[in-house]
Amino acid sequence: MFPHDHIFSLPLAANWFAGNWGLLVVAVIVIYGLLVVGAGDVMAFSLKRAWAISGVCFAESIRKRVLWITPLAIVGVIGITQFQRALDEQDAVRQSLKICLFATALVVMLASIILACTNLPKEIESRVIYTIVTKPITRLEVILGKVIGFARVALTMILIMGLFTWGYMRVTAHQKQQQIAYRLQEGDVSDTERDRMGEYEHSGLLTARSFWAPDQLGVYGAPPDPNSSQRVISNDGEQDVLAGYAMDRTALFGPPNDNVDDWAHSGIGERGLAIRVNLNTQRTGAATDQPQAVQPFGPVFGKAPAPTNLVPPRISIEIFDENFNDLFASTTMVGASTSGELVKNIVEYSKTNKLDPALSAGGIRLSEPTKLPDGTTGQTAYAWLPPQTAIGLFRHNGFQVRVVGASGNVDFFIGPHPVDCFIPEIKPGEFDIDGPHATRIDPRPGIDGTGELLAFRGRLGIHLDQEMSGGSDAPHTTAVYSFRNAPSSVTEDGIPIQVNVQVDRSNSEVEAGHEDATMLDVSVLDEATKRLTHLAQPVLVESRLPAFFRIPADAVTTGNYDVLLHCENTAQSIGLLPTSLLLVTSHQYFEVNLIKSLSIIWMMSILVIIVAVLCSTFLSWPIAIVLTVLLLLGHWGVDQLADVSGPGLGRQIVNDFKFTDVALSKVVSTGVDTLSNVLNYVSDVLPDTSKFDAIEDIEQGVNIPGDRLLEALTVLAGFGIPSIVIAYVLLRNKEVAP
């Protein structure tokens, strides 16, 4: 969708090419099939004869009135688009375009599967194939001729549907733009609509934009200080911070050995995972969950009572997986303020293996300010993930330590290295949590390649976005979109930005259409000069509708800058996604984008035809249709199971079912892991149909990158070429003539 999200690398473009072994398999199949089995047919191959066969397939498909399905699809598209409910004029155009392209893909794929799966079996059944194979024609020419012929049919259908889509969308867009011009002229627009409608009128409703996504989104309790590396989270869970760690199984579980179970039970699987959090705090109002520590006795020697002190606030520590899903709750970990207290709590836990809620990491009281290992002063909190729980990390590709405030009216100051993870050293008489004998786990590097990868987030919204409160509800809450090495896209009016957010209003009793406009205060922080530039006017936004503004060209000096957002409205919150704010880099004509989308659909249809022809060489046509669908959906199906079929699945099943027999546990664990590995290997040789997404980008008004076409072509070549060779070998060895 975005340029730097699609940096193309040929060995990684398709799952088939996920490694050098994939290229080797393709080469072996092609060389064996064409140079060993069919060397004579390759030498005698004639493109003219293959084209003649394709012409027969094309003419036969036309005689079957296959093209009559396109007028039916067109009528259906026109009917469906009349009942859509759009947010605005541009959304109406995009919904219509999505319906047109979906109908095109559906019609072409269904026709391709049916034609390609039924052609060869019916020719064999009716003995028409006898007439063909007794001619001076090779089986390779038969296979290629049929693939080319059905590809011509698919192309014809795509051209018909494409011409309809182009004409229908141009007429629809023209009508909508006339409505926009009339509304602007009559003043029938709200304040939030005026800028958006003006952009639609200027750029058009079908123009495709190229976007550059920010490298990172952070939600903070206060605007970041340009001259400080500290960031703020606050207000009892309003924000949190996650520190990312890669799943280096050798570092976490020790060197691998032949016994996977033993490997999982070494390292943190034997001694657990220790976590140390370093931060500072500052109170912002009346104390909440901060009881006063009072001298237990009255006046001593006639003196007044000692002054009362507020004890440190609390934090909670959890572990998330690589997808930001809750993996280990704080109630599964032992917590403490210091390493010494943690050792005592671990010993107490080990006596019963039952965690007292008072000892958990679900509300750890921070230590008093102490000197940290790096020489600075701060407060610490510790957590320990027991070994029997830590084994669950074995199945994941990474994990993240989440730190969230558990006391209200407190600002938590987070430095550049707030979290440290260790494999503690546990021996008789020796318990080293984070000292010289413990093994430190390296974190993921930050977006600039240095430091620690930290994600600052707002509270999770119902739309899986991050919520940022506005106005007096959170007077200093700020969202920061960080751009690094962004391309220059300066226009006469500045740097164009598109923002699309979810607006939630607490004052829902306000009559619809009479709400106060939602205002975003926007600032730009230049990374090189540390200069902060405020936009003179707030950006007015509506929920789930794009808004456009421009950054002054002189506000940034390089491609490294941050865009800061704050909602000025009280009793409103803004839902943010990492792609809610985008840099607009260029525009492209609708016709060019449509041709790209239709080209991807055609490449997908060719892949479908090749798979169908392959299945039809050794199966009857009903079974061939079923197998074709299974092969095309196989990779997608395994991807859906990826989260539960990773390393360590067998051990997890053994633990879940509580097998007590050692031999049975071994058989079940090894068997499940073997089946999981076989399933993953099988999916690697199936085509990744997700690379043929021809609708999402163009529907969202995004310029389809050239890499998207190259990815689709790579999957088509990587799976299609060996499939054609296999189909040829099967047909060559098949007795189809007396």
Give start-end residues of each CATH 2.60.120.260 domain in the chain.
462-506+516-587
* Band of residue 13 on the pLDDT scale cut at 50, 70, 90: very low
Rounded to whole angstroms, how far apart are CA atoms 290 and 133?
A: 89
Which amino acid is it at 223?
P
Mean pLDDT, residues 56-75 taken together: 92
Structure confidence at residue 295 (pLDDT): 43
Rounded to whole angstroms, how far apart are CA atoms 570 and 238?
A: 16
Structure confidence at residue 677 (pLDDT): 74
Structure confidence at residue 297 (pLDDT): 39
Q: How many helices, marked H, and strands, marked E, lie in the chain?
A: 19, 31
> Does pLDDT of 87 surpass 90?
no
Q: What is the pLDDT of residues 601-652, one digit of tens each?
A: 999 999 999 999 999 999 999 999 999 999 998 888 777 766 555 566 676 6
Structure confidence at residue 305 (pLDDT): 44
* Band of residue 14 on the pLDDT scale cut at 50, 70, 90: very low
> Does pLDDT of 3 surpass 50?
no
Structure confidence at residue 735 (pLDDT): 65
Mean pLDDT, residues 664-680 taken together: 76
Q: What is the pLDDT of residues 311-346, one digit of tens each?
A: 889 999 999 998 888 899 999 999 999 999 999 999
Q: What is the pLDDT of residues 421-473, one digit of tens each?
A: 999 998 777 789 998 999 999 999 887 767 788 999 998 887 778 999 888 77
Angle between helices 139-186 and 706-732 (to 10 degrees): 150
* Band of residue 493 on the pLDDT scale cut at 50, 70, 90: confident
* Band of residue 96 on the pLDDT scale cut at 50, 70, 90: very high
Which amino acid is it at 58?
F
Mean pLDDT, residues 471-486 taken together: 88
Q: What is the pLDDT of residues 540-587, one digit of tens each?
A: 998 889 999 999 999 999 999 999 999 998 888 999 999 999 999 998
| Contacts with 121 (C-beta within 8 Å, 6 or more apart), sequence order | 616, 619, 620, 621, 624
Nearest to 734 by CA among 143, 230, 80: 143
> Does pLDDT of 4 surpass 80?
no
Q: What percent of the chain has pLDDT over 90?
A: 51
Q: What is the pLDDT of residues 193-214, one digit of tens each?
A: 888 888 898 888 998 999 999 9
Structure confidence at residue 5 (pLDDT): 38
> Does pLDDT of 375 surpass 90?
no
Structure confidence at residue 2 (pLDDT): 43
Average pLDDT in the chain: 85
Which amino acid is it at 458?
G
> Does pLDDT of 307 surpass 50?
no
* Band of residue 490 on the pLDDT scale cut at 50, 70, 90: confident
> Does pLDDT of 736 surpass 60?
no
Across 117-131, 166-180, 365-379, 466-480, the highest mean pLDDT is recorded for: 166-180
Q: What number of CA atoms fall less than 13 Å from residue 87's CA on the CB side?
A: 12
The CATH code of domain 462-506+516-587 reads 2.60.120.260
Q: Tokens representing 725?
A: 């060779």
Report the DSSP beta bridge partners of residue 309.
293
Rounded to whole angstroms, how far apart are CA atoms 105 and 99?
A: 10
Structure confidence at residue 18 (pLDDT): 43
Angle between helices 139-186 and 89-126 (to 10 degrees): 160
Q: What number of CA atoms fall less than 13 Å from residue 444's CA on the CB side?
A: 17
Of the two residues 658 and 259, the one the predictor is more confident about is 658
Structure confidence at residue 6 (pLDDT): 34
* Band of residue 257 on the pLDDT scale cut at 50, 70, 90: low
* Band of residue 12 on the pLDDT scale cut at 50, 70, 90: very low
Residue with tokens 């525009």: 587
Q: Is 590 within 8 Å of 82 (Cβ atoms)?
A: no
Structure confidence at residue 298 (pLDDT): 41
Structure confidence at residue 9 (pLDDT): 33
Structure confidence at residue 502 (pLDDT): 92
Structure confidence at residue 303 (pLDDT): 43
Structure confidence at residue 241 (pLDDT): 95
> Does pLDDT of 660 surpass 80?
no
> Does pLDDT of 475 surpass 60?
yes
Per-residue CA distances from 240 to 404, 457, 530, 606 (Å): 5, 5, 25, 48
> Does pLDDT of 411 surpass 50?
yes
* Band of residue 217 on the pLDDT scale cut at 50, 70, 90: very high
Q: Is 69 within 8 Å of 161 (Cβ atoms)?
A: no
Of the two residues 17 and 80, the one the predictor is more confident about is 80
| Contacts with 320 (C-beta within 8 Å, 6 or more apart), sequence order | 242, 326, 327, 399, 400, 401, 402
Task: Using CB atoms within 10 Å of the CB of residue 643, give its burial: 0 to 12 exposed, 13 to 18 middle, 19+ buried.
Answer: middle
